[in-house]
Amino acid sequence: MAVDSTAGKAGKKKTGSDSILYIGLDLGTSQSAIATSNGVRINTASVVGWPKDLISFKLHQKPILFGDECQRNRMSLDLFYPLEKGVIYSKSSNAKEPEDAERKSAAPAEFIRHMIYLAEPKEKQQVYLVVGAPAEASVDDKQAIINATEGLVDSVLVVSQPFLVAYGLGMYGFTLVVDIGAGTMDICRMHGTIPGESDQKTSFKAGTFIDDMLYNLLSSKYPRANLTKSMATQFKDKYAFVGDINEQISVELIIDEKPTRCDITNEVKEACESIIPELVSTLRNLITTFDPEFQANLQENMLLAGCVSRMKGMPHLIEHSLANLGKVDVNIVEDPVFAGAIGALKLGEDMPLSEWQQM
Ligand SMILES: Nc1ncnc2c1ncn2[C@@H]1O[C@H](COP(=O)(O)OP(=O)(O)OP(=O)(O)O)[C@@H](O)[C@H]1O
Ligand SMILES: [Mg+2]
């Protein structure tokens, strides 16, 4: 669902333009971004870190760290990720130790608190928050996000992430939006009204799925190489492509303690293309189950968002794979990092007061 009436809560709004700070939050599996009505635009890694011990606490001089600062200091921190596969941790998950479970369940609220702090609300200013969630997030998943904002905001809405991307770009008419992030691939069919459940699809064939496959393929091809998952992610971010390219991709790996140049072209292609069949079949399904008179409008207005959409050759391969349906036109959003947060901010600012209060 897009704007879900079960997925929000609101306090009483004060009047006056400056009395409310609107925040659009794209809460992502690997990174999150905010866009606010006071002009703040910030993105950071979605991670919370607690110092491992006394020495680490002395080093950092703070009880908790967030985002990119955690990445830089990961050796001395216990890291927790607020989202897994696009949804926030729920207590039933099987964390190893009680302390881990406690921190894991605290991480989403701590992270959201930090993002709101970065938004610089003024004293006494009310905070109205719109959060992007996976297209098919369950009522429970949305409620978990709302619960994590308890006491931090005056009102909150949880809205389909690809819908927010389209809304931010003013694409209210026929559009198929695809947002491929680290944890989820979210697809939304827009047709001039708030999209319904049948217009939205979520799959876990996304960035982390590609990373795991690339790591496994490279580990089989170069079994004696000193390889980590994080290296596989870095190779993907730098070289990701689908379809055909005219160049060879080679990287330096340490094999038997010696730096060695290794060809990874076929492995990068196979891993990156592993998400394409599901993407194409979902798009085909959303097109062919639509009113036949308007199917062409959908396929001529496809929009790719999310950082995995930056894989070279994506628009061409999708257009080629759906060519038997007729003319297909695929474009990529200019700013995949902030498109969702900007759409969330715009929706928050546009939403009439009465609508917020009905949530
Ligand atoms: N040029 C690139 N080509 C392919 N993948 C990339 C590229 N740059 C970043 N990525 C990958 O994109 C993913 C992050 O994208 P994004 O920030 O849209 O996801 P997210 O919002 O954190 O996740 P989600 O929306 O699934 O919760 C990561 O898997 C990252 O490795
Ligand atoms: Mg995302």
Close Cβ partners of 347 (under 8 Å, ≥ 6 residues apart)? 3, 24, 130, 157, 159, 164, 167, 168
CA end-to-end distance (rounded Å), the chain? 14
Q: What is the mean pLDDT of each run of 10 residues along the chain (359 residues)?
A: 41 61 96 97 96 95 96 94 79 59 89 96 93 87 90 93 96 96 95 93 96 98 96 98 95 96 98 98 97 97 96 97 97 95 97 67
The pLDDT value given to residue 6: 33
Protein residue with its CA nearest to atom 5 in ligand 1: 308
Same CATH topology for 185-205+275-332 and 207-273? yes
Alpha-carbon distances of 95 from 28, 78, 143, 181, 324, rounded to whole Å:
21, 13, 21, 24, 48
- pLDDT tens by residue, 233-288: 999 999 999 999 999 999 999 999 999 999 999 999 999 999 999 999 999 999 99
Pocket test for ligand 1, best of 30, 178, 236, 314 (most atoms within 8 A of CB): 30
The pLDDT value given to residue 355: 74
Close Cβ partners of 286 (under 8 Å, ≥ 6 residues apart)? 176, 187, 189, 199, 201, 298
The pLDDT value given to residue 35: 98
Map 49-95 to HEC letters. Answer: EEECCHHHHHHHCCCCEEHHHHHHCHHHEEEECCEECCEECCCCCCC
Instruction: Give the ligand whose atoms come closest to the C-alpha of residue 306.
Output: 1
Query: Which structure tokens are listed for 231?
Result: 């290296």
Q: How far is the CA of 28 from the centre of ligand 2 (A)?
A: 4
308: Cβ below 6 Å to ligand 1?
yes
**Distant-in-sequence contacts of 30-35, Cβ < 8 A, 24+ apart:** 30/181, 30/182, 30/183, 30/207, 30/208, 31/182, 31/307, 31/337, 32/67, 32/111, 32/115, 33/337, 33/338, 33/340, 33/341, 34/115, 34/118, 34/119, 34/341, 35/338, 35/341, 35/342, 35/344, 35/345
| Adjacent-strand bridge partners of 35 | 24, 41
What CATH code would you report for 207-273? 3.30.420.40
Q: Which atom of ligand 1 is nearest to the CA of 161?
A: 25
- Which of helix, strand or coil describes residue 254? strand
The pLDDT value given to residue 15: 45
Torsion of CA 351, 21, 114, 130, to 10 degrees: 0
The pLDDT value given to residue 98: 58
Q: What pTM was estimated for this model as a whole?
A: 0.90
Close Cβ partners of 270 (under 8 Å, ≥ 6 residues apart)? 213, 217
What CATH code would you report for 185-205+275-332? 3.30.420.40
Protein residue with its CA nearest to atom 8 in ligand 1: 237
- pLDDT tens by residue, 136-183: 888 888 898 999 999 999 999 999 999 999 999 999 999 999 999 999
Instruction: Give the ligand whose atoms come closest to the C-alpha of residue 29.
Output: 1
- Kindly state the helix (H) or strand (E) to which residue 190 belongs, with its residue range: strand 185-190
Q: Which atom of ligand 1 is nearest to the CA of 306?
A: 18
DSSP structure class, residue 12: P
Instruction: Give the ligand whose atoms come closest to the C-alpha of residue 46.
Output: 1
What is the spatial distance between Cα 143 and Cα 157, in angstroms, rounded to a whole number?
10
Q: How far is the CA of 41 from the centre of ligand 1 (A)?
A: 18
Domains of the chain: which residue ranges? 185-205+275-332, 207-273
